[in-house]
Structure formats: C-alpha cells, structure tokens
Amino acid sequence: MDDDAEQAEHAAIGRQVGRFIRLSERLFATLKWSDAGRGLERPAYMLLSRIAVDGPFRLSALATDVALDLSTVSRQVGALETAGLVRRATDPTDRRASLVEVTELGHEVFEENRARWIATWRELLAGWTPEERQIFAALFTQLNQSLAERLPSAEKGATSERDAR
C-alpha cells in the first residue's frame, strides 16, 4: 500500500527534477555570468569554481569530478586559459599531465561570479526558513552523491568498469 504513496513521491520528485533542470538552464543562461565583459558560461564557471575551490587539478581528475568527457574538459579549460583565468603547468611527476590552477584574475572572476550566484540563491530562497535551507542542502547533497555513484564510470579508481554498458 505504501508502494502507492512511494510511487507518487517518486513521480513527484521526478517531475520536479525535470522541470528544475530546464528552469536552471534558463536561469544560468539569463545570468550569463557576464559582468565586466569577463563573462563565463555555465560549464566554464563550473569548472573554474572546481579548480578555484579545490586547488590544482589534473584534467582527467576534473573530468571525472564533473562527469564530463575529457575532451570537453580539455576544450573548456583551454577556453579558460585563453581568457587568462587558469594556468596549466606540466605536472613535474608526469609530463603527460597538466595541473590546472586558477590565476589571480581567475580568482577574481570566480569570486565575482560566485557572489552573483549566491545572491541569486538568496533571492530565490528568500522565503525559506534556515531549517528548510539546511535540510534541502543536505538532501540535495545526498541525492547528488547517489547520482554520482549510479552514473556509470563516475568513479574512477575504485570499482571501475562493471555495468558500464
């Protein structure tokens, strides 16, 4: 019997998720992350923020982290580099690899955009109670984790290929 209610909940969540993805895309697009001409598009900003927050990254590590194809990351990082927001240094321990790190400018731009992003959320969640925000964040985090685990090839070193098509 519970199954019915459960089904309904899953359906509801699934529905909201679909809607949410679309709306967020729109949101991202409208913000455009552009400010003083140093605009960033969504994927670029996401990569930049990963790099800015969690130190130098290898491209492959980045790709795994954000669940993007390495080629895509390569190009995006290339764009960031061209824009002067990140710098690539050859990994001393492995000359095939590069370590990507943010530049001074990159940090600046990141902070700018981060501030705008946070402000947007402040606006969106204006009516929420702190508890709601906390719970939501926690559940969301949990969900992302499940999601990441479920994604084929999301985890690299660990239990690598298994049901990977």
30 binds a copy of itself (CB under 8 A): yes
Q: What angle do CA 105, 106, 110 make, to 5 degrees?
A: 120
144 binds DNA (CB under 7 A): no
Q: How many other C-beta atoms can be found within 10 angstroms of the C-beta atom of residue 143?
A: 12
Smallest gap from Cβ 138 to a copy of itself, in A, equals 9
Q: Name which of 63, 68, 141, 151 is nearest 159 in CA terms.
A: 151
Q: Which is nearer to a copy of itself, 29 or 89 (CB)?
A: 29
Q: Could you tell me if 127 and 34 are in contact, meaning their C-beta atoms sit under 8 angstroms apart?
A: no
Applying the rule CB under 8 A, the residues between 52 and 91 that interact with a copy of itself are 66-68
Q: Name which of 117, 72, 70, 114 is nearest 96 in CA terms.
A: 70
Q: Could you tell me if 102 and 54 are in contact, meaning their C-beta atoms sit under 8 angstroms apart?
A: no
Single out the segment in contact with DNA by CB under 7 A; choices: 67-75, 102-110, 116-124, 127-135.
67-75
Smallest gap from Cβ 37 to a copy of itself, in A, equals 16
* Both tokens assigned to 141: 């985090």
Smallest gap from Cβ 94 to a copy of itself, in A, equals 27
17 binds DNA (CB under 7 A): no
Residues making contact with DNA (CB under 7 A): 22, 25-26, 29, 41-44, 58-61, 67-72, 74-78, 88, 91, 93-98
